[in-house]
């Protein structure tokens, strides 16, 4: 079957091993001084290892590969203890992998392995009014949605009064995709750049007011797009323009940290010393 899976550039990999602890699935090993993908079955293709590679040697490709097997992965993860189990379940949850998440919980139940308490509560909805994921054991504490305390017309009036005011866009230029912006675009010279992973504007409700205001926007995905092309184009942008500052906005999920590495490498290659900062957004839409 064709699916997304990581690939490692052996010419760029230094064998530092930083990717290994960030692949709890056990798909990576250092062999002959280079990181290697040793099992298609264990690689979920979500790229948790990408943001931890200082050389940008790990990317995502689509190719023929054996189907990812969550049971095989959990067999390895369960041996590593509750902290690794917790990290793996959080990894699946952050990437919206509901089916794998349920398979992982099912494996733990079938093998009588304790599920971390906070994961159990989150997965069955005990702390709220929704049930986002089926729990293999069920839960008597799950509560049904409660009626709005202000029923009928009063509830509608309350919702209307709580609605946010109309806000204007802070976008200053077009296009915004890194792939489409020419390196010599006039709006780059002297600009304060905001380079945002493309999930950020969807997650962060105050994106325009708190991040974009006064900045020129570049958007891309470090996981799904061509990372080397990004790095080369950003290098040209920094080299041929007097960029005033660069802010990188990324999500908290591990694969999103790749954007920070790309920008740092591009600035180093350009030979420019540019004011630089990062802003991280949680999957719940909060700045961290």
Q: How far apart are CA 38 and CA 6, in angstroms?
A: 11
Angle (CA) 61-45-123 rounded to 5° is 155
Q: Are 58 and 74 found together in one domain?
A: no
The pLDDT value recorded for residue 153 is: 55
Residue whose token pair is 């866009």 = 169
Q: Which residue has the higher pLDDT, 176 or 96?
A: 176
223 occurs within a structural domain: yes
139 occurs within a structural domain: no
Question: pLDDT for 88-122, tens place per residue?
Answer: 787 777 767 778 888 888 888 888 888 876 665 44
Mean pLDDT value across residues 249-258 = 86
Band of residue 210 on the pLDDT scale cut at 50, 70, 90: very high
* Count of C-beta atoms within a 10 Å radius of residue 39: 18
Q: Are 190 and 237 found together in one domain?
A: yes
The tally of domains found in the chain comes to: 3
Q: Are 56 and 93 found together in one domain?
A: no
175 occurs within a structural domain: no
CATH number at residue 225: 3.30.370
Residue range(s) defining the domain that contains residue 264: 186-281
130 occurs within a structural domain: no
Q: Are 60 and 82 found together in one domain?
A: no
Mean confidence (pLDDT) of the chain:
79
135 occurs within a structural domain: no
140 occurs within a structural domain: no
The pLDDT value recorded for residue 147 is: 47
Q: Are 48 and 74 found together in one domain?
A: no
- Report whether 177 contacts 233 (CB < 8 A): no
Q: Are 29 and 110 found together in one domain?
A: no
Q: Are 115 and 53 found together in one domain?
A: no
145 occurs within a structural domain: no
Mean pLDDT value across residues 268-282 = 92
Q: Are 191 and 275 found together in one domain?
A: yes
Band of residue 200 on the pLDDT scale cut at 50, 70, 90: very high
Q: Which residue has the higher pLDDT, 201 or 222?
A: 201
Angle (CA) 53-58-62 rounded to 5° is 155
* Count of C-beta atoms within a 10 Å radius of residue 204: 22
Mean pLDDT value across residues 229-248 = 92
pLDDT reading at 236 higher than 90? yes
Q: Are 274 and 198 found together in one domain?
A: yes
73-77, 93-97, 244-248: range with lowest mean pLDDT? 93-97
- Report whether 193 contacts 278 (CB < 8 A): no
Q: Are 25 and 76 found together in one domain?
A: no
Pair of tokens at residue 204: 């962060």
- Report whether 163 contacts 133 (CB < 8 A): no
The pLDDT value recorded for residue 124 is: 44
3-state secondary structure the chain: CEEEEEEECCCCCCCCCCCCCCCCCCCEEEECCEEEECCHHHCCCCCCCHHHCCCCCEEEEEEECCCCCHHHHHHHHHCCCHHHHHHHHHHHHHCCCHHHHHHHHHHHHHCCCCCCHHHHHHHHCCCCCCCCCCCCCCCCCCCCCCCCCCCHHHHHHHHHHHCCCCCCCCCCCCCCECCCCCCCCHHHCCCEEEEEECCHHHHCCCHHHHHHCCCEEEEECCCCCCHHHHHHHHHHHHHHCCCCEEEEEEECCHHHHHHHHHHHHHHHHHCCCCEEEEEEECCCCCEC
Q: Which of 58-72, 133-147, 150-164, 263-277 has the highest mean pLDDT?
A: 263-277
The pLDDT value recorded for residue 228 is: 85
Q: Which residue has the higher pLDDT, 96 or 268?
A: 268
pLDDT reading at 270 higher than 50? yes
Q: Which of 13-27, 123-137, 238-252 has the highest mean pLDDT?
A: 238-252
How far from 62 is each of 3, 66, 242, CA to CA, in Å?
5, 12, 37
* Count of C-beta atoms within a 10 Å radius of residue 104: 26
151 occurs within a structural domain: no
């Amino acid at each position: 079957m064709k699916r997304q899976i990581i690939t490692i550039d052996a010419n760029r990999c230094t064998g530092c091993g930083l990717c290994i602890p960030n692949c709890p699935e056990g798909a990576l090993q250092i062999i002959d001084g280079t990181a290697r993908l040793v099992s298609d079955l264990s690689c979920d293709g979500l790229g948790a290892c990408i943001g931890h590679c200082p050389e940008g040697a790990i990317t995502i490709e689509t190719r023929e590969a054996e189907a990812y097997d969550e049971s095989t992965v959990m067999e390895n993860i369960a041996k590593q203890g509750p902290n690794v189990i917790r990290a793996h379940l959080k990894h699946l949850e952050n990437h919206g992998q509901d089916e794998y998440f349920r398979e992982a919980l099912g494996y733990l139940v079938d093998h009588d392995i304790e599920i971390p308490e906070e994961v159990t509560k989150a997965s069955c909805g005990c702390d709220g009014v929704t049930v986002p994921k089926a729990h293999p054991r069920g839960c008597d504490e799950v509560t049904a949605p409660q009626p709005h305390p202000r029923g009928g017309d009063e509830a509608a009036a309350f919702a209307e009064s709580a609605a946010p005011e109309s806000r204007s866009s802070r976008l200053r230029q077009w296009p915004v995709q890194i792939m489409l912006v020419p390196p010599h675009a006039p709006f780059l010279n002297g600009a304060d750049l905001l380079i945002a992973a493309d999930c950020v504007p969807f997650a962060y409700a105050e994106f325009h007011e708190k991040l974009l205001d006064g900045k020129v926007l570049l958007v891309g995905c470090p996981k799904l797009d061509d990372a080397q092309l990004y790095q080369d184009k950003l290098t040209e942008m920094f080299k041929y323009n007097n960029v005033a500052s660069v802010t990188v906005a990324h999500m908290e999920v591990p694969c999103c940290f790749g954007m920070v590495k790309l920008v740092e490498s591009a600035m180093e290659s350009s030979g420019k010393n540019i004011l630089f900062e990062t802003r991280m957004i949680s999957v719940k839409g909060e700045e961290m």
